[in-house]
Amino acid sequence: MRTSAHVSTCVFLTCFLTKANGNAEDVNVTCQYSEDCLLPCSFTPSGEDEVRWFKQDVQIYPQTPNMENYRASVSVPELSLGNASILLRRCNLNDRGRYRCQVTKKERTDYSFVTLRVEAPIRFVDIQMTRLSGYEEVMCSTSDVYPHPYISWSTDSATPSETLKYTTRIKSDNKGLYSVESKLKKLVNQNSLTYVCTINSSSADQMWTASLSERVHNNVTITSKLETVSTWSQINSSEGQNLTIPCRSPWNLGNFTLTWSFRRADMSSKISTYDSRTQRISNHWNGTALLEPRFLQAGDGSLRLLGAQSLEHTGEFTCNISALQRNCVGHTRVTITAPGPENKDLKTKSHTPLWIPVTVVLATILITVAVIVAITKLQNKFRQTAGAGTARYSREVKVSVNKSEEITEGSHLNPDPTKEGNT
Ligand SMILES: *[C@@H]1O[C@H](CO)[C@@H](O)[C@H](O)[C@H]1NC(C)=O
Ligand SMILES: *[C@@H]1O[C@H](CO)[C@@H](O)[C@H](O)[C@H]1NC(C)=O
Ligand SMILES: *[C@@H]1O[C@H](CO)[C@@H](O)[C@H](O)[C@H]1NC(C)=O
Ligand SMILES: *[C@@H]1O[C@H](CO)[C@@H](O)[C@H](O)[C@H]1NC(C)=O
Ligand SMILES: *[C@@H]1O[C@H](CO)[C@@H](O)[C@H](O)[C@H]1NC(C)=O
Ligand SMILES: *[C@@H]1O[C@H](CO)[C@@H](O)[C@H](O)[C@H]1NC(C)=O
Ligand SMILES: *[C@@H]1O[C@H](CO)[C@@H](O)[C@H](O)[C@H]1NC(C)=O
Ligand SMILES: *[C@@H]1O[C@H](CO)[C@@H](O)[C@H](O)[C@H]1NC(C)=O
Ligand SMILES: *[C@@H]1O[C@H](CO)[C@@H](O)[C@H](O)[C@H]1NC(C)=O
């Protein structure tokens, strides 16, 4: 009687819980230090939703009286469209952590998690000669970086690395940002040597080098410097879309040349070139790739790729901005996915409309289960039939949860398992 119905409900809830937990993967967001940062959260609006945001169990939205001036806001017009994304202004290292977006409507609470990382990328590397310690030294430094960068030295000739003697100091300031300073003793009897300082970001997506060489010419010492920066990034897109592959120099350059090239497993090709002196663009991929003249004049060499194709355009795009003593190279790994058999496009574009039928199905099944439980209680003599009925429905629940699992990847809300357990 009672027991059989109870057991069936538990089977159904256990199945539901496991599925929901397996599905509740955090969305990872990385923001740049001191920039505004958007943490995504979306839900199906019902007109009576209550949205709350928590950072490690401390409510940050709506603001509580003891948290005035907190830099977080949710757009009210967006909220009515089911967009509960929260904007953190001028994010800093204390903003790192796990956030929970919680939407309550009637007795149901949905939630999703966002994990925020904050990075302060390397913005410059300085190299110079110093005699402050009494020795002739080459000093290399950078500051305001997070997480802490790695520094290493080399020379243009094959100097064994153990003959290079240097000391490196890393400091972190009260905001948590790192400064690095490394001093290398000049090698004696090696006058026209080039010293190269390399600073890598800890995420391995940036490598800066600064090199310094001294030459004595007619009793005058000539020092020359060369700076390069290389970056690595990834873009994923789907077939037929237009996309912009960024390429920006961290410096304000005078005259420069820009070259875009492409490499795939077994072939490589030049896409286009630009010379700021003549303002001439030569494009070998016309119709497919284009450079925007007004951006180029402002020093932005980003490439626009039109109607990307999975076979032709999956590969590495490289831009090379070259100027006097400065060189900037950006590597972007582009992956274009062809539409899959079950139409991935629709899934990413219209989360919400697909979420509605799933919710409706779940709600219907919940009501049905409740009705069956009630019937079981009232009609003891039919307990066998009712038990079988519940079991059958629990299988259907499992199917629809599987569906929602596919749709809710990323920033979507998952039903709160603890709440479900209480109903
Ligand atoms: C987010 O990062 C965590 C830990 O690195 C990882 O387990 C999880 O799969 C990531 N989530 C997504 C959606 O990539
Ligand atoms: C959600 O709203 C924010 C503003 O709060 C906006 O920047 C963002 O693009 C919106 N997201 C979507 C998916 O519409
Ligand atoms: C870091 O710097 C070293 C040079 O010291 C270089 O060989 C290495 O490839 C760099 N690693 C990354 C991930 O940039
Ligand atoms: C180099 O300069 C020093 C002092 O400035 C002078 O004494 C010396 O004669 C100069 N040598 C040559 C080759 O010009
Ligand atoms: C792009 O897809 C690859 C796997 O194909 C994944 O490892 C990577 O994290 C994705 N990058 C972005 C920016 O989504
Ligand atoms: C791509 O850009 C071209 C030219 O700017 C435009 O005609 C086309 O509609 C765009 N396609 C998509 C999918 O946005
Ligand atoms: C750029 O090139 C032009 C023409 O060659 C030259 O006149 C100008 O001085 C250069 N500008 C810089 C900043 O080097
Ligand atoms: C690309 O442009 C050149 C001249 O600018 C033209 O001769 C060539 O036919 C064009 N190719 C395509 C595929 O449009
Ligand atoms: C970038 O271009 C400059 C000038 O053409 C060249 O010296 C340098 O080797 C190039 N760098 C890469 C990584 O291709």
**Do 42 and 72 share a domain, yes or no?**
yes
The DSSP 8-state label assigned to residue 39 in this structure reads E
- Give the model confidence (pLDDT) of 100-112 as tens digits: 999 998 888 999 9
Best mutation site among 140, 184, 196, 200 for ligand 3 pocket (most ligand atoms within 8 Å of CB): 200
25 CA from centroid of ligand 1 (Å): 7
Q: Of the residues 335, 336, 348, 409, which should be mutated to test ligand 5's pocket, given the most ligand atoms within 8 Å of the CB?
A: 335
Position 251 in a domain: yes
Owner of token pair 């590397």? 125
Q: What confidence tens digit (pLDDT) does each residue in 249-273 have?
A: 999 888 999 999 999 988 999 999 9
- pLDDT tens figures, 176-222: 999 999 999 988 777 778 999 999 999 999 999 999 998 888 888 88
For residue 80, with 0-12 CB atoms within 10 Å meaning exposed, 13-18 middle and 19 or more buried, which class applies? exposed
Q: Of the bound ligands, which one is closest to the alpha carbon of residue 348?
A: 2
- Provide the β-strand partners of residue 99: 55, 114
Q: Is the pLDDT at 393 greater than 80, yes or no?
A: no
* Number of structural domains the chain divides into: 3
165 Cα–ligand 3 center, Å: 19
Which atom of ligand 6 is found nearest the CA of 241? 13
Closest CA to 302 of 323, 278, 274, 282: 274
pLDDT surpasses 70 at 4: no
| Pair (196, 295) in one structural domain | no
The upper half-sphere exposure of residue 357, i.e. CA atoms within 13 Å in the direction of its Cβ, equals 7
Query: Nearest CA to 396 among 353, 365, 360?
Result: 365
Q: Is residue 192 part of a domain?
A: yes
Pick 378 or 246 by higher pLDDT: 246
Q: What is the DSSP secondary-structure string of 159-213? A: --GGG--EEEEEEE-TTS-EEEEEEEEPPTT-TTPEEEEEEE-TTSSEEEEEEEE
Q: Provide the residue count of the chain.
A: 423
Among 307, 340, 373, residue at a domain's last position: 340
**Which strand (E) or helix (H) includes residue 293?**
helix 293-297
280 C-beta closer than 6 A to ligand 8:
no
For residue 182, give both structure tokens. Answer: 């490394």
Q: Are 237 and 308 in contact (CB under 8 A)?
A: yes
- 35 and 127 belong to one structural domain: no
Residue 46, domain extent: 26-119
The Cα 195–Cα 211 span in angstroms is: 5
What is the pLDDT, as a whole number, of residue 373?
56
Which residue among 119, 147, 176 closes a domain? 119
Local structure of 35: helix, strand or coil: coil
Residue 257 Cα to ligand 7 midpoint, Å, equals 12
Decide which of 200, 217, 234 is a domain's last residue: 217
Nearest ligand to the CA atom of 117: 1
**Ligand 1 center to residue 348 CA distance, Å?**
18
Helix (H, G, I), strand (E, B) or coil at 218: coil
Sheet hosting strand 315-323, strand order edge to edge: 150-155, 194-200, 206-217, 220-238, 326-337, 315-323, 256-264, 267-275, 280-283
At 9, is the secondary structure helix, strand, or coil? helix
Classified as helix, coil or strand, 396 is: helix
Assess whether the C-beta atom of 224 lies below 6 angstroms from ligand 7.
no
Model confidence over 69-113: pLDDT tens digits?
678 889 988 988 999 999 999 999 999 999 999 999 888 899 999
Check which CATH number belongs to the domain holding 33 and give it. Answer: 2.60.40.10
Mark whether 145 and 90 lie in a shared domain.
no
209 lies in the same domain as 279? no
What are the residues whose beta carbons fall under 8 Å from the beta carbon of 93, sequence distance 6 or more?
A: 33, 118, 146, 175, 176, 177
Please check whether residue 381 lies inside any domain of the structure: no
Q: Is 335 in the pocket of ligand 5 (CB under 6 A)?
A: yes
Report which protein residue has its CA nearest ligand 2's atom 5.
Answer: 75
Expressed in angstroms and rounded, the spacing between residue 255 Cα and the centre of ligand 7 is 6
Residue of 75, 351, 352 to test ligand 2 pocket, by largest number of atoms within 8 Å of CB: 75
The stretches of 217-309 forming alpha helices (DSSP H) are 293-297
pLDDT tens column, 400-418: 333 333 333 334 454 444 4
Identify the top-confidence range among 22-26, 271-275, 286-290: 271-275
Of 373 and 301, more confident:
301
Q: Which of 245, 224, 233 is nearest to 206 (CA)?
A: 233
Position 279, amino acid: Q
- 251 and 336 inside one domain: yes
Nearest ligand, CA 182:
3
Atom 12, ligand 8: which residue's CA is nearest? 286
Amino acid at 308: A
| 151 & 107 share domain | no
From the CA of 254, the nearest ligand is 7
User: What's the alpha-carbon Rg for the chain, to the nearest Å?
Assistant: 30
Q: Whose CA is nearest to atom 11 of ligand 8?
A: 286
The set of protein residues with a Cβ atom below 6 angstroms from ligand 1 is: 25-28, 115
- Measured CA to CA, the distance from residue 342 to residue 385 in angstroms comes to 37
- Which residues are bridge partners to 236 per DSSP? 335
Atom 5 of ligand 1, residue of closest alpha carbon: 28
